[in-house]
Structure 1
């Protein structure tokens, strides 16, 4: 073949090779596109969710806890899509929870790292209201983050703080923060634990503050702790006199423990409190000084029988829920006290009940004198007996549940240690189904709509027959 023909053939082959290379490039690019689509849809289907749904999921995560490696910092490292969503959502950056005591000293020694990281985080929150928690319990004797380093942080963001939790321990003073000189126009909830000193002027320029939680090694005295008490609706903490109930007339929810001495004082009536909790045993002494006629919820820790009776008789409140621990007192002697609230009481939770207490509770169904006191307790919907110390008569228990079946919707009997609950046959009270086992009666009551839990924290014996039938 002549040379000219060979050269022409070579040119043709080069052209075909270039054409095939173009086809190969197109195929390779198509393959990359398909692989990317597979990764985004098949391997990571969550990436196909609408952005607003993804943001809602992000809000459910504890994103603002820890320093410097937080859940949110890990989240934005997953992919560019999530990073873009997170960085463009200011509300995700509006919560911060830092324990400075847990940060290594090598990091604490670098203000440019700690403070700059905090400012970078909060800077992404735009103008959103902030929820800040700072824990700093170490003292000056330790290698710690100085409280004074918090001052410029709180000062810079005070105008946007809505919830503030300062845990400085029982021995660190809060004076270095100079809170008295700051304005908190959005602050609604404050929780502070520290050494308050002789006088504390804090949050006196927080017009929206309504919930205050105070911790520390001393009781709160309203005349010493200066703020706008009349605007509070919720208080949690220790008190060593009763000024709180005089100056904070709009309180609705109070959780307190008493650190003061017994005093000779007239009874104080507070007409707005609907929920009252005594946090520690023996603090029920405060009941002798209070009348709470609007009370709906009462939570006690081992109350004294006579104090409870006189308090309920004097207050005569429309009580709905009663929660009490009876480790040392006797619930068997509470009949005289509870008669004053029996008409409205719907929910009772008792902890540490003895065998005598349980016998008394189960006797509410019968015609003995104490039970007659509870004839008016016709609205009882929930009865929970937790951490029960002794056994009960299972037949009495079944009789009680049938008697209360019309109104009682939830019953729990949780023993501290596992009882021997066998399935012996019992006819049940008049009107009950035919002869059946204890488990069978439980099953009948559950089928009628009563939520029954009888057993230990780990096993519900009342559901045993139901579970067996399911298998």
Structure 2
């Protein structure tokens, strides 16, 4: 049956669907599990689709329709891409129908597309915003993936969002703005959103928003081209607990002098634009983070010494999780650094594309000393094909080292705390996979780990792949 054809079960059928005999509260629970799983609104928005829940649930039977329409929580998420609507002229009607069904539930709204383009009359944008304005008082999360001019136009309405907890602004920029630092507007609509906790900004500096800064605990910043914007954000968010800096570029406009202390930041995630692995100063060189518990550094030019200096400057904070995925300097942190106070509490470690010699030293220490990473519960190693110029360890090199370390560590006291071990390689690179002879010689210790209740995965990085062990 074509996907566009609605499925409908006749109410007058001789046999009653067994599902319809379930208690209404159980049916509603099933309905909730039919809803799309929330994803990144920028890359995969949830479209208003008659072939998916919750709209599809209203087409199955009169019972299902009655239950779906009387369950406001099924309608509290409204994700829409205006540019690809099948019936743009019915936009306001669609919004009114959907949002009214949500009742007074806190709303999660995502709006993507060109709002005030030449065809705004065809889209019925003005009518849509009239409906939107009626519901601003109970919007919990708002994602705006629109033109920068659209954000400014929306701001001119002077709406307020008293219950807002999560805000994303991802403006589509003109080509000239992408190359330069544009003259950013000041956005004031969220100045009274005192419950705002999570803020996601793409390219837009924090200084362009008038918001209750003290309430923000989680900042996601994408596409920043000036480290000064990062430092300004950290300086002005005194209660920040997590900072995700994605696809940023290093620049030489700021030189490290005195490190910026931040007393509350616990989780720092850095993902650099891999096209810009320049030797310019890294954000890590500017920071002192005494409360740090989780550090994830992906695709950056940061060296092991940069991480070491950050931790030392921060008085060796008690780390819980560390992820290192450097494409440049592939030398793993030295064994001496892993013996520092910060790592005595480490529970999760993920390492990618490490240099062979440093990896060998790490696994030698792991197998020889029960006091080395004594609380480690989860370890992941991502391998790539060996590179002779930098001595990268591939899976064929790493697996025997890990197997030996596992055998020795299991013989030590106290009992090993490890509960999860993952070794994986690039599924799209045939040179990254170890041959069967290597695998046959090392799988014994991994099977022993599984027998002791440890979850073990050895295989490629495809999400649908199964473990060799």
**What range describes the TM-score normalised by the shorter chain of this pair?**
0.7 to 0.9
Structure 2 Cα separation of the partners of residues 319 and 124 of structure 1: 46
| Deviation at residue 360 of structure 1 after TM alignment | 3.8
Matched, 1:247 2:262: no
Going from structure 1 to structure 2, the CA distance change for 1:50 and 1:191 (only over 3 Å counts) comes to same
Aligned twin of 1:383 = 379
Identify which of 287, 308, 318 aligns with 2:284.
Answer: 287
Write the mapping of 1:53-452 to structure 2, written as runs, cut at 5 A: 53-62=26-35, 65-67=46-48, 69=50, 71=52, 72-104=54-86, 107-108=87-88, 110=89, 113-137=90-114, 140=117, 145=123, 150-169=128-147, 172-178=149-155, 181-194=158-171, 197-215=184-202, 218-222=203-207, 224-238=208-222, 239=224, 240=226, 241=228, 242-257=231-246, 258-259=248-249, 261-280=253-272, 282=277, 285-301=282-298, 302=300, 303-315=302-314, 316-340=316-340, 341-356=342-357, 358-365=359-366, 375-389=371-385, 390=394, 391-392=396-397, 394-405=399-410, 406-416=416-426, 417-422=432-437, 438-452=442-456
| Deviation at residue 227 of structure 1 after TM alignment | 1.1
Q: Secondary structure at the match of 1:343?
A: helix
CA contact (8 A) 1:402 1:445 kept: no
CA contact (8 A) 1:419 1:455 kept: no
Q: Secondary structure at the match of 1:452?
A: strand
Structure 2 Cα separation of the partners of residues 114 and 62 of structure 1: 21
CA contact (8 A) 2:256 2:285 kept: no
Going from structure 1 to structure 2, the CA distance change for 1:277 and 1:441 (only over 3 Å counts) comes to closer
Structure 1 Cα separation of the partners of residues 457 and 49 of structure 2: 44
| Deviation at residue 337 of structure 1 after TM alignment | 4.2
CA contact (8 A) 1:354 1:388 kept: no
Give the structure with the higher percent helix: 1
Going from structure 1 to structure 2, the CA distance change for 1:145 and 1:314 (only over 3 Å counts) comes to farther
| Deviation at residue 308 of structure 1 after TM alignment | 1.1
| Deviation at residue 284 of structure 1 after TM alignment | 7.6
Identify which of 39, 49, 52 aligns with 2:15.
Answer: 39
Structure number with greater Rg is 1
Q: CA RMSD in A?
A: 3.0
Going from structure 1 to structure 2, the CA distance change for 1:462 and 1:358 (only over 3 Å counts) comes to farther
Structure 2 Cα separation of the partners of residues 364 and 394 of structure 1: 16
Going from structure 1 to structure 2, the CA distance change for 1:181 and 1:450 (only over 3 Å counts) comes to same
Structure 1 Cα separation of the partners of residues 91 and 125 of structure 2: 13
- TM norm structure 2: 0.77
CA contact (8 A) 1:284 1:307 kept: no
1:296-329 deviations in Å (ceiling 9; x for gaps) = 1111023222221110111111101001212222
CA contact (8 A) 2:424 2:458 kept: yes
| Deviation at residue 351 of structure 1 after TM alignment | 2.2
| Deviation at residue 336 of structure 1 after TM alignment | 4.8
Q: Secondary structure at the match of 1:39?
A: coil
181-190 or 328-337: bigger deviation: 328-337
Q: How many residues align?
A: 401
Unaligned runs of 5+ in 1: 1-34, 426-436, 464-471
| Deviation at residue 173 of structure 1 after TM alignment | 3.9
Q: Secondary structure at the match of 1:312?
A: helix
Structure 2 Cα separation of the partners of residues 245 and 412 of structure 1: 34
| Deviation at residue 442 of structure 1 after TM alignment | 2.6
1:69-99 deviations in Å (ceiling 9; x for gaps) = 2522221110011011111111212211111
Aligned twin of 1:3 = none
Q: Secondary structure at the match of 2:437?
A: coil
Going from structure 1 to structure 2, the CA distance change for 1:312 and 1:134 (only over 3 Å counts) comes to same
Q: Secondary structure at the match of 1:165?
A: strand
| Deviation at residue 267 of structure 1 after TM alignment | 1.5
- TM norm structure 1: 0.77
